Amino acid sequence: MDMLNFVLLVSSIYASSSFTPVAATDADALLRFKSSIQKDPGGVLSSWQPSGSDGGPCTWHGVACDGGDGRVTRLDLAGSGLVAARASLAALSAVDTLQHLNLSGNGAALRADAADLLSLPPALRTLDFAYGGLGGSLPGDLLTRYPNLTAVSLARNNLTGVLPESLLAGGAPSIQSFDVSGNNLSGDVSRMSFADTLTLLDLSENRLGGAIPPALSRCSGLTTLNLSYNGLTGPIPESVAGIAGLEVFDVSSNHLSGPIPDSIGNSCASLTILKVSSNNITGPIPESLSACHALWLLDAADNKLTGAIPAAVLGNLTSLDSLLLSNNFISGSLPSTITSCTNLRVADLSSNKISGVLPAELCSPGAALEELRMPDNMVTGTISPGLANCSRLRVIDFSINYLRGPIPPELGQLRGLEKLVMWFNGLEGRIPAELGQCRGLRTLILNNNFIGGDIPVELFNCTGLEWVSLTSNRITGTIRPEFGRLTRLAVLQLANNSLEGVIPKELGNCSSLMWLDLNSNRLTGEIPRRLGRQLGSTPLSGILSGNTLAFVRNVGNSCKGVGGLLEFAGIRPERLLQVPTLKSCDFTRLYSGAAVSGWTRYQTLEYLDLSYNALTGDIPEEFGDMVVLQVLDLARNNLTGEIPASLGRLHNLGVFDVSHNALSGGIPDSFSNLSFLIDVSDNNLSGEIPQRGQLSTLPASQYTGNPGLCGMPLLPCGPTPRATASSSVLAEPDGDGSRSGRRALWSVILAVLVAGVVACGLAVACFVVARARRKEAREARMLSSLQDGTRTATIWKLGKAEKEALSINVATFQRQLRRLTFTQLIEATNGFSAGSLVGSGGFGEVFKATLKDGSCVAIKKLIHLSYQGDREFTAEMETLGKIKHRNLVPLLGYCKIGEERLLVYEYMSNGSLEDGLHGRALRLPWDRRKRVARGAARGLCFLHHNCIPHIIHRDMKSSNVLLDGDMEARVADFGMARLISALDTHLSVSTLAGTPGYVPPEYYQSFRCTAKGDVYSLGVVFLELLTGRRPTDKEDFGDTNLVGWVKMKVREGAGKEVVDPELVVAAGDGEEREMARFLELSLQCVDDFPSKRPNMLQVVATLRELDDAPPPHEQAPASACD
């Protein structure tokens, strides 16, 4: 074939094809990229075929060719669900005409390395890899490599390392939009430079520090600035706040201080969103904000703002949709100019110091207001009938104020009203029958007022009611049988009123009822047996969703009943101490958290308090079917008959009180298998207290008033031995002579003993005084330094310690510390200075102490309590000091001086799992995470099963899993919750039931901490290890949490998506199987049913089975917990 024929042949081939040789190069490059994709569940790449007659790559899915030469200019595979261990971005370098690349929304399964971003074609104009699996460090020359880049979005990936200071400087001449939000980038941004072409900058949700960069003020075209959820400090610069064209300014959730700059109002004509919430912002709300006529969202919640709300601000912000100022110190009255905000939809002014009366005309006709939240303020006066003009209101919350007078009947005109919450005010009158016109009403909470009269029958037209609380009012009449029509009713609290009559059997029709509290009324008759049956056939989802719940437990006898459930949204816990009626109750526990969706999945009562009534008859046998019942209080009634043995099936029961009744028979032997607080005192019970289980270990006071009861802790069963004279060691012989001789002998002995004691006492006193004088000056200086708040990281309460020797020894459990003194602890921590402070938590602050021999210990300074339990403290310390296990942080010693309590622990050099995992301070591959999980499980297992008495941790979380020098996990703070609970005898509000995100759902419905609760918390730690995510994150999980998010993903069949991308990148088939089994175990641990969770022995055994063989460094287990 001659050359001419060859050329003609080639020409004919390309003539019959629709793409050129360079287009074929594009196709080859795209096919190489496709070959790196492991899974294509949607089949979006099925059209990518190496064929020469199908029109070429321009016809492939997601590919576009904007020119006439068949060259690829755009690749868009967003949201395709692609999976790759490492997508070959380098393959795309050959597509040198590619200008727009969009691989966003594929999730963490589409993994790539940030370094490969430098291999993309130089013509690139837009790059979008948001919501993907991009890992590694961001290249500092990314933007200089692509001078035509205008928009970069790498949000929601796993980028790590330091954000390069020069990344956005002048070397990026075209960049307009840059978004790296939702990564793990760190570094000091205060010295960063920025291209003046920027219009959008989003660095939110990273770990950035430093001040807000002043250089941003040069970005005159900036419209969106989001620096939220970082660790930024310092004030908001006047120059940045005054950028003229700014539309979105978000610096929320940082550590910023100082005021909101006045300059923000000088050039805010375009500003629509202003978020400075969750900082330490001080000062007043600037009046200059009144110039921001376009403002749609003003969020300054959770700061330290003071002063009144400027009337001019509300009068001019006619576009305002949401006004969020909760949790500040704003004072003054609510300006009447709020009526000008006709578009205002949400007004949240919770937890401030707003006073005065509410404006009579809060809304003008046609106003958009839907939520009015003002709990925890100082509002006075009456509720104006004009509130009904806010015709779109869905939520009204005026809890904990000083409102008086009646509830206006006009509120019945609010046909869209869903929540009416006004607990603890001075409201009077009756419940308006007109509220029955609010057919969508879900929550009615009016407890702790002076409301009287009966419950209007019209109220039961609101068939969607889920929470009705009228506790502590003056309600009379009967409990209406119409309550049975409320199939979604979950919480009914009518305690402490003057209700009479019987408990209607129709309550058994409330198929969602979980919480029933009728204590302290005048109820008579028998307990309906229908209350004990299975209530619902199918669970109703979403009940109580959106509510923030708090359970206040009563302790002692100053208030009747077990406690009360409160709607607690927007209320500071410490405010409860200022509520007179609650303050008079000796309550010491507050448990709060968001309501879980699907509240009624258990479908039986969980809380039942019928105490302090005049009920008769027996305890229904059917109560044994309420398998999730946690509180059963029937005390102070006239109940008769025997305690049903069926109650022994209630394995979740935490409180059982039937005291002060007329019950007979014995305590069922089935109770031996349970572990709960029991009080059967003051009845007619007889027989022996079951000696198996924990019943014999309870205080005798729980059984007194039952003459026929015997056995531990009461007197032994059987005949009581008759006391005789000869049986007494102190018996004296008869006769007056013998008595007087005995008295003379005792007088001589007593005189000798007193003389000896006085002589010894004088000698000791002289020695002590002499020694004290020599040390007096040094002690005074040391005490002065400790109590100088300007030099220490904490405030000390030494009390009478000023008269004690600071050389008091530390009580120790290790020989190497036997000579450690309090003075040495002071020296080792530089006077407990801020430089020695390494952490703080719910139980106190932790200091690192370097001893003279160079060794390190950790010193925990406990929170201040009213130490009425000195002996309890010593006893707890002696118990905890004996607990030794390789996966527990050992207590080395303790020290008491004045009001201070110090605990000395072994120092853990690698910090906490929380810091290592979420702060990315440590490299934690899968094998290391498995080892941490095993270690934490072994430590907790030892506490549950090997300690006598068994120890429940109560606050298991990743910050309480410490890592020693060998990266071995050690469980910390075990026994602390029990110790604080034993010592905290003063009136306080504590959260000893755990940390949000780790608290099992049953703790929000009962105050009883259990071993299965610990298992749940450990399951959350396991999920942290597997997902790399924190247990609570509003941005990631919305109204749910890590547990809810993982369960949702698993239900959707997307369980693999929950795994930390850092783990997935390096995982082989064997490790993926281990992760799947680990996820299964974690979900078992966080099961909603405590009875379905494994115990710690089973958890440890399952973790041991994860590996075909144990790691070589681990020895064979010495016990089931090893």
Residue 76 and residue 127 in contact, taking contact as beta carbons nearer than 8 Å = no
- In which band, very low, low, confident or very high, does the pLDDT at 626 lie, cut at 50, 70 and 90? confident
Residues 1072-1118: pLDDT tens digits? 889 999 999 999 999 888 888 999 999 999 998 876 444 444 444 55
Q: Which pLDDT value is given to residue 1005? A: 53
- 894 exposure class (CB count in 10 Å sphere: 0-12, 13-18, 19+): buried
Q: Which pLDDT value is given to residue 779? A: 42
End-to-end Cα distance, the chain: 81
Residues 239-278: pLDDT tens digits? 888 788 899 999 999 999 999 998 888 878 899 999 999 9
Residues 565-582: pLDDT tens digits? 777 777 776 666 666 655
Residues 149-195: pLDDT tens digits? 999 999 999 898 999 988 888 777 889 999 999 998 999 999 899 99
Q: CATH homologous superfamily of domain 1-160?
A: Ribonuclease Inhibitor (3.80.10.10)
Q: Which pLDDT value is given to residue 885? A: 87
When the pLDDT of each residue in the chain is averaged and rounded to a whole number, the result is 80
Q: Which pLDDT value is given to residue 232? A: 94
Q: Which pLDDT value is given to residue 765? A: 44
- In which band, very low, low, confident or very high, does the pLDDT at 955 lie, cut at 50, 70 and 90? confident
Quote the CA–CA distance of 1120 and 942 in Å, as a whole number: 9
Q: Which pLDDT value is given to residue 773? A: 46
Q: Which pLDDT value is given to residue 970? A: 94
Q: For residue 726, what are the CA distances in angstroms to 730, 734, 746? A: 9, 12, 21
Average pLDDT over residues 106-130: 91
Name, of 109-123, 546-560, 781-795, the range with top average pLDDT: 109-123
955 is catalytic: yes
User: Which among 50, 65, 54, 70 has a CA at the least distance from the CA of 17?
Assistant: 54
- In which band, very low, low, confident or very high, does the pLDDT at 602 lie, cut at 50, 70 and 90? very low
Asked if 1-160 and 481-547+595-710 have one fold, the answer is yes
What secondary structure does DSSP assign to 38-83, as a single string? -B-TT-TTTT----SSS--GGGSTTEE--STT----EEE-TT---B
Residues 711-758: pLDDT tens digits? 988 899 876 443 333 322 223 333 444 333 333 333 333 343 334 433
List the structure tokens of 389.
């003009």
**Helix (H, G, I), strand (E, B), or coil: what is residue 509?**
helix
Instruction: Please state the domain extents for the chain.
Output: 1-160, 481-547+595-710, 773-907, 917-978+995-1122
Count of C-beta atoms within a 10 Å radius of residue 463? 13
Is the model's pLDDT at 381 over the cut of 90?
yes
State the DSSP H helix or E strand holding residue 397, giving kind and residue range, or none if neither. Answer: strand 395-397
Per the listing, tokens 């790196």 go with: 36
752, 758, 760, 762: CA torsion to nearest 10: -160
Q: Using DSSP, how many helices (H) and how many strands (E) does the chain show?
A: 18, 55
Q: Which pLDDT value is given to residue 966? A: 87
Is the model's pLDDT at 1038 over the cut of 50?
yes
Q: Which pLDDT value is given to residue 483? A: 95
Name, of 58-72, 677-691, 948-962, 1007-1021, the range with top average pLDDT: 677-691
Name the pairing type of β-strands 587-594 and 548-554.
antiparallel
- In which band, very low, low, confident or very high, does the pLDDT at 585 lie, cut at 50, 70 and 90? low
Residues 527-561: pLDDT tens digits? 998 886 644 444 455 566 666 667 776 665 667 87
Q: Which pLDDT value is given to residue 51? A: 67
**Helix (H, G, I), strand (E, B), or coil: what is residue 663?**
coil
**Across 471-480, 594-603, 809-818, least confident range:** 594-603
Residue 480 vs residue 760, higher pLDDT: 480
Beta bridge partners of 372: 347, 396
- What is the length of the chain? 1122
Residues 49-61: pLDDT tens digits? 886 546 688 899 9
Quote the CA–CA distance of 644 and 634 in Å, as a whole number: 13
Average pLDDT over residues 800-822: 47
- In which band, very low, low, confident or very high, does the pLDDT at 287 lie, cut at 50, 70 and 90? very high
Residue 720 vs residue 973, higher pLDDT: 973
Q: For residue 299, what are the CA distances in angstroms to 235, 295, 347, 373? A: 17, 11, 10, 14
Residue 169 and residue 143 in contact, taking contact as beta carbons nearer than 8 Å = no
Quote the CA–CA distance of 288 and 361 in Å, as a whole number: 26
**Across 386-390, 419-423, 579-583, 1054-1058, least confident range:** 579-583
Q: Which pLDDT value is given to residue 675? A: 63
Question: Domain 917-978+995-1122 carries which CATH code?
Answer: 1.10.510.10
Name, of 282-286, 701-705, 871-875, the range with top average pLDDT: 282-286
Q: Which pLDDT value is given to residue 542? A: 59
Active-site residue, selected from the candidate residues 179, 682, 955, 1014? 955
Residue 342 and residue 318 in contact, taking contact as beta carbons nearer than 8 Å = yes
Quote the CA–CA distance of 427 and 388 in Å, as a whole number: 18
State the DSSP H helix or E strand holding residue 892, giving kind and residue range, or none if neither. Answer: strand 891-897
State the DSSP H helix or E strand holding residue 1034, giving kind and residue range, or none if neither. Answer: helix 1034-1037
Is the model's pLDDT at 627 over the cut of 50?
yes
Which residues contribute to the annotated binding site for ATP?
Answer: 861
Burial 4-20 (b: 16+ CB within 10 A, else e): eeeeeeeeeeeeebebe
Which residues contribute to the annotated binding site?
Answer: 861
Positive or negative CA dihedral for 916, 920, 922, 925?
A: positive
Count of C-beta atoms within a 10 Å radius of residue 665? 16
Name, of 476-485, 759-768, 1046-1055, the range with top average pLDDT: 476-485
Give me the percent of the chain exceeding a pLDDT of 90: 47
Quote the CA–CA distance of 336 and 363 in Å, as a whole number: 9
Is the model's pLDDT at 808 over the cut of 90?
no
Q: Which pLDDT value is given to residue 402? A: 95
Is the model's pLDDT at 494 over the cut of 90?
yes
Average pLDDT over residues 138-145: 90
Residue 213 and residue 189 in contact, taking contact as beta carbons nearer than 8 Å = yes
Question: Domain 481-547+595-710 carries which CATH code?
Answer: 3.80.10.10
Is the model's pLDDT at 896 over the cut of 90?
no
Cβ neighbours for 885, distance < 8 A, ≥ 6 positions apart:
938, 939, 942, 946
Residues 901-915: pLDDT tens digits? 788 888 888 888 988
Is the model's pLDDT at 467 over the cut of 90?
yes
Average pLDDT over residues 1040-1053: 88
Quote the CA–CA distance of 274 and 366 in Å, as a whole number: 26
- 678 exposure class (CB count in 10 Å sphere: 0-12, 13-18, 19+): buried
Residues 16-37: pLDDT tens digits? 344 455 666 889 999 999 999 9
Q: Report the predicted TM-score, pTM, of the whole model to 2 decimal places.
A: 0.69
Q: Which pLDDT value is given to residue 698? A: 75
Q: Which pLDDT value is given to residue 848? A: 87
List the structure tokens of 124.
């690139």
Average pLDDT over residues 184-213: 92
Q: Which pLDDT value is given to residue 790? A: 34
* CATH class name, domain 773-907: alpha beta
